Structure 1
Amino acid sequence: MIKHWTLQRKWTYASAISIFLSFLMMCIILYFSLFNWLQISEEKIAQNTLDEVTHFFKTNGPIISIQDIQKNRTLLNQLVNQKQSVRILNEDGIEILRINDASDFPKSSSLQTEKFVREEINGKAVFHKVAEIDFGLFKGYVQISHSLESFSQLMNYILIAMGIFALIALLLSALIAFMLSSILLRPIKELRDEMQLAKQTKFSKKVSFQYDNEDEIGELLKIYKELMGEVSKTITRQDEFIHNVSHELRTPVQVVEGHLSLLNRWGKEERSILDESLEISLSEIQKMKLLIEEMLKLAKNEHSNNWEASSVISVLQQLQQNYLHLSPETTIEIQGDEQVNVLVPPTALEQILRNLIENAIKYNDKRPYIKVIAVNQADKVQITVEDNGVGIKESMLPKIFDRFFIADEARTKNKGGSGLGLSIVKSLVIEYGGTISVFSEEDKWTKFSILFPKLTSE
C-alpha cells in the first residue's frame, strides 16, 4: 500500500512520526528523570522526619508525656503537612504510641530496615521505614509511614500533560511537514507536469519550467533540459534518417518491383528481357546494399565519438545481478581488481560481455558455469570469459566472428541464434582499439580473451 502513496504523503507521515517519536522519547526520559528525582526528594523528607523523631525521643527521655509531644509544634506540623504517621513499637514489635494517623502502616514488616520501602497499602502508595530507638529505660523501634499520594498525583498530572503535549506535537509536526513538503515538492510536481506535457507533445515542446536555486532540483532540471535537448536532437535525426532512407530506398525498390512484374508478365520466354531485367535488378540491389552500409558506417562513427572510461568489475557485477533473475541456474564467477578500467563506454562494454555470457548460457548442455577474469597487464587490460559449454570445433574457430555464421546449425537450431552476436562483439572490440581471440575444446569448454589498451592518467 505504501508504494502507492505520493512522495508528499510519505514525507508528511515520516516527518510527523519522526518528530513525534523524538518528542515522545524526550518525554519518557524526562518523566522517569522527574519520577526518580521527586521520589528521592520524598525519601529525603521522610528520612528527615524520622531523624527528628528519633532525636526528639532520645533528647527528652527517659520519661516523655503526651504533652511533651504536643509542645513540639514543628514536628507535628511537619507530620501533618507531609501526611506522615509515626508509631513507637516495643522490643516485641507491639505498638505503644502513634502520632498523626494520616498514613497507613503495613500489617507486617521487619522491625528494622536499612532503606525506605515503597509499598501499596489499601490502594495508596507509602514509604515506610523502621529504625531502632534507645533512650533511658526504654528500648524499642520507631516506624514512619510517609504518604506518596501527593507525589502520585503530581506524576499523574505530569503524565497527562506530556500526553497532551505529545498529541499536540504530533498534529503540529504533521501540519508543518505537510506545509514544508508542499513547498519543497512544488518544483518536482511542476517538473513532473512538464515531463507529462513533453510526453503528450512527443517532445516537440521546449522546456518552459524555470528554477533558479542551485540545489538538487536545480541539478535535476539541468540534466532534464540536457536530456530533452538530446532527445529532441535524436528524434530530429531519427525523422531525418527515416525520411532519407525511405526516399533513397523507394526508387531502387520500385525499379526492382517493376522489372519483376515485367518478367512475370512477358519476360519468362524472352531471353533478352530476362537478362536485362535481372541485370538491372541486381544493380539496384547492389545500390541498396551500399546505401545500407554507408548508413551503418555513419551510425558507427557517431557512436565512437563518445568514449569514456568504464570499470570492468562494476559492469560484470551488474550483469551478474541481472542473470540472477534471467537465468537463476547459471553461475557467474568474477575475479579481478576493482581498479581495472578500460576506455570503453559502459553500454558498449556491457554489450560485449553480455553477448559472450549469453552465448555461454545458450550453447550449454549442463548447468552453466562462467568464469570472468579481468586483470591489468603491463600495457594492456585482459578480460577472459570461460564457460563449460558444448565448445566449438577447431575447424570452425576462424569463422565464428563472421556475420550470420552458426557453428553447428543442427545442434543449435532450437537456441534462437542469428549468427550476429559474435560479429557485433568483434566489431565493438576493434572499434575501441582492442583485439579478441577464442580458444575451445569441443564438448568441454570455450574461452574468449579480449585485450584493450590500458587506461593511463593522461
Structure 2
Amino acid sequence: MKNWSLQKKWTYSSAISIFFSFLLMCVILYFSIFNWMLISEKKIAQNTLNEVVLFLQSKGPFITIQDISRNHTLLNQIVNQKQSIRLLNKDGIELLRINDASNFPNFTKETLSDFSREVINNQHVYFKMEELNFGTFSGYVEISHSLENFSQLMNYILIAMVIFALISLLISALIGYSLSSVLLKPIKELRDEMQRASQNKFSKEVSFHYSSKDELGELLLIYKELMNEVSETIKRQDEFIYNVSHELRTPIQVVEGHLSLLNRWGKNEREVLEESLNISLEEIQKMKKLMEEMLNLAKREHAKEISQTNILKVILLLQKEYKLINPKVTISTEIDPVYSVNIQQTALLQIIRNLVDNSIRYNENDPNIFISVNQDSKNIIISITDNGIGISSHQITKIFERFYTVDEARTKSKGGTGLGLSIVKMLVLEYGGEIDVVSNLGDGTTFRVHLPYK
C-alpha cells in the first residue's frame, strides 16, 4: 500500500468503509428480522394451540371426526401454517392427528410452558405440549409448527442482503473513485505545478489557483509563500555568484597577467619584478578582503547574541588599529565614557570599522573622520562624519545593497567590494537598530547608527 496512489488508497478505503458499514447494518437488520419473525411464528403457533384446546373443550368428551371436519376455519389455519395437531391419552397413545405436515418428537409426560425449537428428521419446528382435561377425558394435546416458510424467507433475506452488500461495495468503489477524482484534482494540479517549478528552477510564478478557503487553500497559500522565498533565495544566490565572479575576475586577471609577464622575461628585471609582485600582492589582498567580508556576512545572518558593550572602548581599539595600518587616517571623537549599547563587541567593532573603511576608501584627501555619540529616549546614536567625496541623492537608497558601489571607477582603484555597508545594515537591523545617511557630493558623508541601550 505504500506505493499506491492517494486516489487508489481513497477509493479502496472508502469502498471498504462503506461496505463494512452496510454489512454491519445488514447483520443487525438480519438478526432483528430473525428474532421478530421467530416471535411471530411462536404467536401464530400459540394462537392455533389455544383455538384447538378451546374447540376440544367446547365439544366435550363426545367429539367426533365430523365435528372437527366441519370447523373449516380451524382446519384451514392449521393447513396453511403447515401445523400438525395430535391428541394423546395419559399413556402417550395417539388418539387423533390433524394434518400431517410436520413431525413430533418422542413422547414425554413433561409439559412445556413455552415453545421449544426442535429439529426432527431435518425439519425445523416449534413444538409445545399441554395437558388437556374435558369431561371424563384426561390427556395431552401437542402442536408441531413447521418453520419451513420461516427458514425459506430468512434465506431469501440473507441472499438479498449479500447481493445488496456486493452491489454496495461496487457502488461505493465507484463513488469513492469519483469523489477522489474530484477532490484530489487540485492536489494533482498542485503536484504538476511543483514539477513545472522544479523543471524551471523555480523561476516562474505560481500559476495554480484555488479559491476555496479549506485545508488545500491553506496549503496553496503556504506553497506560494515558500515558492516566493525559494525564488527570492535563488535570485539572490544567482546575483551573489555573478557579482562575486565578476569582482574576482579582474584581480585574478591582473595577477595572471603579471605572473605571465614575470614568467616570460620580467623575472630578470628587478624593477619589473618588484612592481609585479607589489601589484599581485595588492590584488590578492583585495580578493582576501572580499572573501572575508562575504564570510562575515554569511556567519552573521543568524547570530543574535546581545551583551552590553562600551562604545568608547571599541573606538579606542579602532584608533590603535588604524595608527598601525594607515597612519594618514585621523579619527577624532566626542564620546562620553558611560555610553553602552546592547550589542556584541565584535559586532559593534565590525559596524564601525566598515563605516570607517568606507570613509577612507571614498576620500581624495587625507581621511579625517569624526565620531560622536548622543542619546535619545530609546537609542544611542553613533555619528561617523568624514571629509570624503560624498554620495549623490539618487545613490543613497542603493548603497546598502550587496555589491553596490557608489563610484565604480574609483572603487576599482581603491579596492571596494560593495559588501561593507550591506554587512553594516544587516548587523544593525539584527540588533534592533536603524541606520541612516546624510551626504552631498563633495561635502563628505555622515552615517548615523541608532542602537538600543536598554
With the shorter chain as reference, the TM-score category is 0.5 to 0.7
The offset of 1:40, in angstroms, is: 0.5
Q: Could you tell me whether the CA contact under 8 Å between 2:92 and 2:107 is conserved in 1?
A: no
CA deviations 1:374-423 (Å, max 9, x no partner) are xxxxxxxxxxxxxxxxxxxxxxxxxxxxxxxxxxxxxxxxxxxxxxxxxx
Q: Is 1:166 matched with 2:137?
A: no
The TM-score with structure 1 as length reference comes to 0.61
**Residue type at the aligned position of 2:102:** S
Instruction: Give SS of 1:61's match.
Output: helix
For the structure 1 residues 110 and 289, does the alpha-carbon distance in structure 2 shift closer, same or farther, using more than 3 Å as the test?
farther
Q: Could you tell me whether the CA contact under 8 Å between 1:110 and 1:130 is conserved in 2?
A: no
Q: Could you tell me whether the CA contact under 8 Å between 2:130 and 2:142 is conserved in 1?
A: yes
For the structure 1 residues 110 and 17, does the alpha-carbon distance in structure 2 shift closer, same or farther, using more than 3 Å as the test?
farther
CA deviations 1:82-140 (Å, max 9, x no partner) are 11101112222222211111111124556322221212223321111111122232222
CA deviations 1:205-238 (Å, max 9, x no partner) are 2222222222222222222222221121111111
Q: Is 1:77 matched with 2:76?
A: yes
Q: Match for residue 151 of structure 1? A: 150
The offset of 1:145, in angstroms, is: 0.3
The offset of 1:32, in angstroms, is: 0.6
**Residue type at the aligned position of 2:128:** K
Q: Match for residue 112 of structure 2? A: 113
Aligned ranges 1:34-433 → 2 under 5 Å: 34-107=33-106, 111-258=110-257, 279-300=278-299, 302-303=301-302
Q: Distance in 1 between matches of 2:303 and 2:59?
A: 109
Q: Could you tell me whether the CA contact under 8 Å between 1:111 and 1:141 is conserved in 2?
A: no
Q: Distance in 2 between matches of 1:124 and 1:205?
A: 80
Q: Which has the larger radius of gyration?
A: 2
Q: Match for residue 380 of structure 1? A: none
**Residue type at the aligned position of 2:92:** G
Q: Distance in 1 between matches of 2:199 and 2:189?
A: 15
Q: Distance in 1 between matches of 2:109 and 2:6?
A: 64
The offset of 1:296, in angstroms, is: 3.0
Q: Distance in 2 between matches of 1:99 and 1:9?
A: 64
> Where does structure 2 lack aligned partners over 5 or more consecutive residues?
305-429, 433-454
Q: Distance in 2 between matches of 1:300 and 1:225?
A: 28
The offset of 1:44, in angstroms, is: 0.9
Q: Match for residue 4 of structure 1? A: 3
The offset of 1:301, in angstroms, is: 5.4
Identity of aligned residues (%): 71
Q: Distance in 1 between matches of 2:245 and 2:297?
A: 17
**Which shows bigger deviation, 219-228 or 271-280?**
271-280
> Where does structure 1 lack aligned partners over 5 or more consecutive residues?
306-430, 434-458
CA RMSD of aligned residues (A): 2.7
For the structure 1 residues 140 and 263, does the alpha-carbon distance in structure 2 shift closer, same or farther, using more than 3 Å as the test?
farther
Q: Match for residue 371 of structure 1? A: none
Q: Distance in 2 between matches of 1:89 and 1:100?
A: 15
Q: Distance in 2 between matches of 1:225 and 1:144?
A: 81
Instruction: Give SS of 1:68's match.
Output: helix
Q: Could you tell me whether the CA contact under 8 Å between 1:70 and 1:76 is conserved in 2?
A: yes
CA deviations 1:15-63 (Å, max 9, x no partner) are 1111111111111111110000011010111111112222222333233
Q: Distance in 2 between matches of 1:203 and 1:49?
A: 86
Q: Distance in 1 between matches of 2:131 and 2:431?
A: 98
Instruction: Give SS of 1:10's match.
Output: helix
